[in-house]
Structure 1
Amino acid sequence: MDILLQEDSIISPLGFSTSENIKAIKAGVSGLHFHENSRFLNGGFYAGIVDKSLLAEHFSKIGDSSKFTKLEQMMLLSIQSVLNNNQLDLSETGLVISSTKGNVDLLGDSRNFSKDRASLISLAKIIQDFFGFKLQPIIVSNACVSGGLAVAIAKRFIQVGKFTDAIVVAGDLVTDFVTSGFQSFQALSATPCKPFSKNRDGISLGEAAAAILVSRRERKANNISLVGDATVNDANHISGPSRTGEGLYKSIQLALKEAKLAALEIDYLSAHGTATLFNDEMEAIAFNRAGLEHVPVNSFKGFYGHTLGASALIETILTKHSLLNNELYPSLNFEELGVSKPINIIDKLEKRELKIALKTASGFGGCNLAMILKKAF
């Protein structure tokens, strides 16, 4: 049974649709800008932040922005865009929601909203009620693999017959809670992040939302199938990745096994690529162990920053469109390779025939994810 990745939408500083986001990426436009804040080193930090006024303007077409938080508006807009282009019976459609922190900003300043709304259960209920989904929402919150893991979970529920269609939505914000946490690790970059580069010095944060329709029902001639996925926890450290890349390596091997593919059949690799010293090194080691050192690879973090629970879904959507468009998108801000093992970084936009791609993600607590996407035509 083919599980298809169909209609999608990305809401980010680069645009309020997937097409706007891809147009910005092809033009080399980054959503990262400096945001002044005296509480932080260097007087502020680089991040990709969605403009509130522009968001409210777009959201006013579907609801009253004063009744919904910023995160809720972003996630609801992304789902609405997917629903606009598909006739779905929401009484039978699954809803899978991914976020690492949800409305955590309400714990500091609840404004017109109850602090209870900070819970992920409340976020799920708001999304469910807004559209009228009847099935109980599934909540996925497993650090920074969450957005991709949500797609994999939707796939598995469809395979066992729980539903035929599922909407997967993911979102997270740049908040004081998150930025303070990464500053405590001394992991915030003083410049827009530089994944896999020799002079990288940490992450840039970002906020975004995305949604995608996962289905076993063909609706269009051109489809992308999710043919393999796996997640392995290396149990190395609460915030540090395995030095041998063990969890990511095993995830890749298991995903390839399910897909019945060999590493040499992978045409493109979308990495997690946070631009921290340890993450990028770990990924390079895992890719080499898996025999993927020659596969063109990029990170989208230079465009978006790290959008936490939304990152793996956004990057899965972009990987899908790379396959459909036969385009390799550059790893923005890359300079000189700064990892100990060779990898083939994409440094400019390139047209190339693509059939199969691998998307990886890793996160705190030792979680790792690998997903294999394949053209279904």
Structure 2
Amino acid sequence: MKEVFIIADNIISPLGFSTAENFQQLKQSVSGVQLHEDKKIADEPFYASLFPAGCELFMGDKYTHFEQLLIASIEATLSSANLDITSKNTILIISSTKGNISLIETEENNEALRKRVALHTSAQLVADHFHFANKPLIVSNACISGLLGIVTGMRLIQSGIYENAVVVGADVITKFVMSGFQSFQAVSAEPCKPFDADRTGINLGEGAATIILSSNKQDAKSIKVTGGATGNDANHISGPSRTGMELSHVLQKAVKEAGIQNADVDFISAHGTATMYNDEMESKAITIAGMEHTPVNSLKGYYGHTLGAAGLIESIITLQQMKENLVIPTKGFQQLGVTKPVNVAANTIIQKNLKHCLKIASGFGGCNGAVVFSKAE
């Protein structure tokens, strides 16, 4: 099969409008999670990572804020990539969980609104903006959407259908989104604490990210996508597996596809939402695979949970950690609060040679995903 290289990436978040800006903020332990008072989102003050008021991308009324985030992130990524996006060899993949769902809060419920809210409408608008030759592909599978977008792009390139895949994801936090998580009593009243004994739930976040995959290596120091897998634990519509067996199977399948052993994984970027059940399940999945000594971190304390963009943002930060051979600590973590003794990176940056890294994610409906990134020889 063809090798799949990562040739460019971008993150747009409250921490910055480039990958470099975001990573620099993380290295300085800066978090985008802040206390907000916005009646348009929640009746009570809440912690989240949101773009500041007045932070506009100035693209006119044609595109919603969600679509503008997608366009801005793609545009920034293309500026550093030698790529003909008008070629039939390139596919656009868009990942999101909510898209333009905020429009149902402000617009009249009619056929025009239903068409405008549809993800395929946004996808085509974005594709037309850049003159992509192919019809865009939408990946929307709860909170593994961004990660699944990478796996999908990898498969399409490995199969020879395309040479390049532009994978972009975004989500915007609205009252609809916030109220949904509040109904599960999953939102923390303080900054989230992934894997910590005192964790009380998630903070939400918004942002966008883009990764360009290609069968054409452009950089001698390229990083490859060497393995990927997805599955479903079929446990509950909102509660993950209680055993962790299913996620463990998925991550071990991805590692096997990468042609390495579990012990060869140098670092794991966890989903780490700071809910009681997610963190517990992930810790079990990791230990079942015999990887309890491998350094693990969660970035939710910096970004909040960015939904459809989370898998992409956290994958890009994983790539940056690989390039600089370091592991960012888990913000908010102090004392292990899961039953399995996973090696959560805490307090300070860890210096470590990172050759093979694993990114995992889980989401509502029991979906699980895993991707392995490896430095090119």
d(CA) in 2 for partners of 1:359, 1:201: 23
**Counterpart AA for 1:35:** H
d(CA) in 1 for partners of 2:219, 2:54: 35
d(CA) in 1 for partners of 2:187, 2:65: 23
Q: In the alignment, what sits opposite 2:180?
A: 181
TM-score, scaled relative to structure 1: 0.95
**2:94 matched to 1:97?**
yes
Q: In the alignment, what sits opposite 1:354?
A: 354
Q: 1:301 to 1:160 in 2, by over 3 A?
A: same
The alpha carbon displacement at 1:110 in A equals 3.8
Contact 1:42 1:190 in 2 (8 A): no
- How do 1:274-285 residues align onto structure 2 when only pairs under 5 Å count? 274-285=273-284
Q: In the alignment, what sits opposite 1:68?
A: 63
The 10-residue stretch of structure 1 (257-266 or 299-308) with the greater mean CA deviation from structure 2: 257-266
Partner deviation per Cα, 1:222-244 (whole Å, 9 max, x = no partner): 11111111111010000000000
- How do 1:241-320 residues align onto structure 2 when only pairs under 5 Å count? 241-320=240-319
Contact 1:247 1:367 in 2 (8 A): no
Contact 1:52 1:70 in 2 (8 A): no
Q: Number of paired residues?
A: 370
- How do 1:5-44 residues align onto structure 2 when only pairs under 5 Å count? 5-37=6-38, 43-44=44-45
Q: In the alignment, what sits opposite 1:78?
A: 73
**Counterpart AA for 1:197:** D
Contact 2:42 2:178 in 1 (8 A): no
Q: In the alignment, what sits opposite 2:343?
A: 344
Percent identity at matched positions? 48
Partner deviation per Cα, 1:294-327 (whole Å, 9 max, x = no partner): 0000000000000011101111111111111111
Q: 1:260 to 1:186 in 2, by over 3 A?
A: same
d(CA) in 1 for partners of 2:103, 2:299: 29
**Counterpart AA for 2:83:** L
Q: What are structure 2's unaligned runs of at least 5 residues?
A: none
The alpha carbon displacement at 1:75 in A equals 0.9
Q: In the alignment, what sits opposite 2:119?
A: 120
Contact 1:323 1:354 in 2 (8 A): yes
Contact 1:120 1:139 in 2 (8 A): yes
The alpha carbon displacement at 1:38 in A equals 6.0
The alpha carbon displacement at 1:40 in A equals 8.6
TM-score, scaled relative to structure 2: 0.95
- How do 1:91-170 residues align onto structure 2 when only pairs under 5 Å count? 91-92=87-88, 93-110=90-107, 115=113, 116-170=115-169
The alpha carbon displacement at 1:41 in A equals 8.4
The alpha carbon displacement at 1:39 in A equals 8.9
The alpha carbon displacement at 1:44 in A equals 2.0
**Counterpart AA for 1:285:** K
d(CA) in 2 for partners of 1:47, 1:301: 10
Contact 2:40 2:175 in 1 (8 A): no
d(CA) in 1 for partners of 2:9, 2:354: 20
SS in structure 1 of the partner of residue 35 of structure 2: strand
Q: In the alignment, what sits opposite 1:238?
A: 237
**Regions of 4+ moved over 4 Å:** 37-42
**Counterpart AA for 1:69:** T
Partner deviation per Cα, 1:211-230 (whole Å, 9 max, x = no partner): 11101101111111111111
The alpha carbon displacement at 1:338 in A equals 0.2
d(CA) in 2 for partners of 1:305, 1:41: 16
SS in structure 1 of the partner of residue 120 of structure 2: helix
d(CA) in 1 for partners of 2:116, 2:286: 40
Contact 1:65 1:73 in 2 (8 A): no
**Counterpart AA for 1:95:** L
Contact 1:247 1:366 in 2 (8 A): no
